[in-house]
Amino acid sequence: MALFDALLELADDHLVLGHRVSEWCGHAPMLEEDLAMPNMALDVIGTARSLYDYAGKVEGAGRDEDDLAYLRGEREYRNLLLVERPNEDFAHTMLRQLYFAAFMHPYWTAALTSQDETIQGIAGKAVKEMAYHIRHAGEWVVRLGDGTEESARRMADAVQSLSIYVGELFEEGAAEGVDVLPSRAAIRDEWLATVKRVFDEAGLTFEDSKFPQTGGRSGVHGEGLGHMLAEMQSVHRAHPGATW
Amino acid sequence: MYSQGLIGADGRSEETPEFLAAFQARVDAETKIEPNDDMPEGYRRTLVRQIGQHAHSEIVGMLPEGNWITRAPSLRRKAALLAKVQDEGGHGLYLYSAAETLGVSRKQMTEELLDGRAKYSSIFNYPTLSWADIGIIGWLVDGAAIMNQIPLCRCSYGPYARAMIRVCKEESFHQRQGYEIVMKLAQGTPEQKAMVQDALNRWWWPSIMMFGPHDADSQHSDQSMAWKIKRFTNDELRQKFIDATVPQAEYLDLTLPDPDLKWNEEKGGYDHGPIDWDEFWRVVKGFGPMAKDRVKARKKAWDDGEWVREAALAHAEKRKARAQAAPMAAE
């Protein structure tokens, strides 16, 4: 079941991040971002769906994407703490997206040569999307870091508050020993290079946290995730067995 | 989504009779009017208001549906709703761009929306109270929008007409998507069926009000019809919509909340009961149940985003300055 667990971790990362980004829809700082953010949310929710679907098949217990997304509680969710962080402001949201995409792009690139055809297929689509997310979120990190005094302060605050969640990205988690998925630890250098390139242009400094927060992979989350899931699952759970 | 019959436009014009007659002849010959063409000031003003109202309706319309993105009951529905609300934002963007060709800026139009000078479709001042509302809005509200917008694809003003072609394709997809949500609920559990009937009861009358006042009470229709901004009257479009929708409701065994609704053989269409115009005008004048909340939400997004927009401009200026300084430094 290691593959099932590893797929679930990946799927949860994508769904939770997509949900957070989708919370902006209709409330963005400008109309262009009201189009771009749902686009990014759709990309990662789409990947989550493929991963849940595959996880359900690997498990072989008849659970589909909705059973896995809607009928597990917060202690069963296995996502990274980074992706569940609240949106806070546009600076936090864009930095969170950059951190995630800067990891997932090399991850999916490595997965293109996986021995597992389904994973290869998911990677083929996701890798293009992640390149776009790095570009879009990276450009905003630069604009905000090198914009006004206020935007630079907000961007620096975002760096400060999100850096403690970076270390968890590189933990192998349930994927330890699953040879059809790439090693997460091996991605650190490339992640750092991408983030440094953006930070240099933005006038920001990246410092690795000495005390990274972890726990997402064992279902120990921040307090926000429970609220998010309560909202997300409310209609589905109120009508057990209904189809939509 | 869509803006209802134009509210409060002033199509008066002071140009010479010869100029107006020549303009009318171009319109009558179905020649598209383009941004750099001479046009009566009243024509320009009417279009700025209409396209602006339409754009604002798309943007404000993101809020009631956006209210259910985080609670959509399946991942497929969540993705589809997110894509739909994004489409509405895209419609807003084309429409603001079309209005900009008439010499008004998006910023100016946005400010008018936020300070209450500009209107948007009052349908969005009703709350979305259950998942079924998302289906009903797609089916009825987007359905009513299509009735209004298909003729707008032939509007005399080129940029508006062209924007509407793409908008209509997407709206038609939304309408089918909405009907599919409704169909699933109508064929679902007793609770789902009750949910969708309740949503239909709440949205039916506001949807048929979307076509605007009866022709006899619609002040601006005649001039807009002559200028071919509008091709059918409010009542004609409302009738088309009702005639198309009644059989769709019957097919799903849902009841439209109008006891007077019945087929009239002689006119070849359905008769309907009296519309509560007091409610219509109350909502149009800004006293709909969600009116204050909608504008407040838009204002909050705009105000909260100000530092982001300022930063983007400041950064662009800095880049420009650096690019200009670079060759000098190299010399």
Residue A183 lies in a domain: yes
Q: Which residues in chain A are closer than 8 Å to B79, comparing Cβ atoms?
A: 42, 45-46, 49
What's the confidence (pLDDT) of residue B11?
58
Does A243 fall in a domain?
no
The answer to whether A244 contacts B73, with C-beta atoms less than 8 Å apart, is: yes
Residue A1: per-residue pLDDT: 84
Find the CATH number of the domain harbouring A223.
Answer: 1.20.1260.10
Tokens at A232, concatenated: 């997300």
Whole-angstrom distance between the N-terminal and C-terminal Cα of chain B?
56
pLDDT for position B326: 81
How many angstroms separate the CA atoms of A46 and A54, rounded? Answer: 13
Provide the strand spans (E) within B85-229. Answer: none
For residue A144, tell me if it sits in a domain: yes
pLDDT at B222: 83
Domain membership flag for residue A98: yes
Using CB atoms, which residue from A27, A42, A239 is nearest to B191?
A: A239
Distance between CA atoms of residues A123 and A131, nearest Å: 12
Alpha carbon distance B91, A69 (integer Å): 31
φ/ψ region of A241 (left if φ > 0, alpha if ψ in -120 to 50, else beta) reads left
Q: DSSP 3-state assignment of B157?
A: strand
For each of chain B's 331 residues, which pLDDT tens digit applies? 444 445 555 556 668 999 999 999 999 999 999 999 999 999 999 999 999 999 999 999 999 999 999 999 999 999 999 999 999 999 999 999 999 999 999 999 999 999 999 999 999 999 999 999 999 999 999 999 999 999 999 999 999 999 999 999 999 999 999 999 999 999 999 999 999 999 999 999 999 999 999 988 877 678 888 999 888 999 999 999 999 999 999 999 999 999 999 999 999 999 999 999 999 999 988 889 999 999 999 999 999 999 999 999 999 999 999 999 887 766 6
**What is the value of pTM for the model shown?**
0.95
Select the residue from B68, B78, B303 to test the A interface by mutation, using most A Cβ atoms within 10 A. B78
CA distance A166 to chain B (A): 25
Could you tell me if residue A198 is inside a domain?
A: yes
Is A141 among the domain residues?
yes
Could you give the CA distance from residue B52 to residue B96 in angstroms, rounded to a whole number?
7
- Under an 8 A CB cutoff, do B310 and A148 touch? yes
Query: In chain A, what percentage of residues exceed pLDDT 70?
Result: 100
Q: Average pLDDT of A170-183?
A: 95
Secondary structure tally for chain A: helices H, strands E: 9, 0
Q: Say whether A29 sits in a helix, a strand or coil.
A: coil
**Is residue A171 situated within a structural domain?**
yes
| Residue A244: inside a domain | no
Average pLDDT over residues A115-141: 98
Rounded to an integer, what distance in angstroms lies between the CA atom of residue A90 and that of residue B309? 11
* Chain segment A30-62, per-residue pLDDT in tens: 999 999 999 999 999 999 999 999 999 999 999
What is the number of alpha carbons within 13 Å of residue B57 lying toward its C-beta?
24
Helices (H), chain A: 2-22, 31-59, 65-70, 81-84, 90-111, 117-145, 149-162, 188-202, 224-238
B222 versus A93: which is more confidently predicted?
Answer: A93
**B268: exposed, middle or buried (C-beta count within 10 Å: 0-12, 13-18, 19+)?**
exposed
Flag if A31 and B92 touch (Cβ within 8 Å).
yes
- The residues near B297 (Cβ < 8 Å, ≥ 6 apart) are A26, A27, B63
* Sign of the torsion angle spanned by Cα atoms B247, B249, B254, B258: negative
Give the range of the structural domain holding residue A221, as residue numbers without chain letter.
2-238
**What would the two tokens of residue A172 be?**
């192998």
How many domains, chain A? 1
> Burial code of B178-202, b = ≥16 C-beta within 10 A, e = fewer?
bbebbbbbbebeeebbebbbebbeb
Q: Are residues B74 and A66, on separate chains, in Cβ contact within 8 Å?
A: yes
* A206 vs B167: CA distance, rounded Å: 44
B297/A148 touch (CB, cutoff 8 Å), yes or no: no
A11-23: average pLDDT:
98
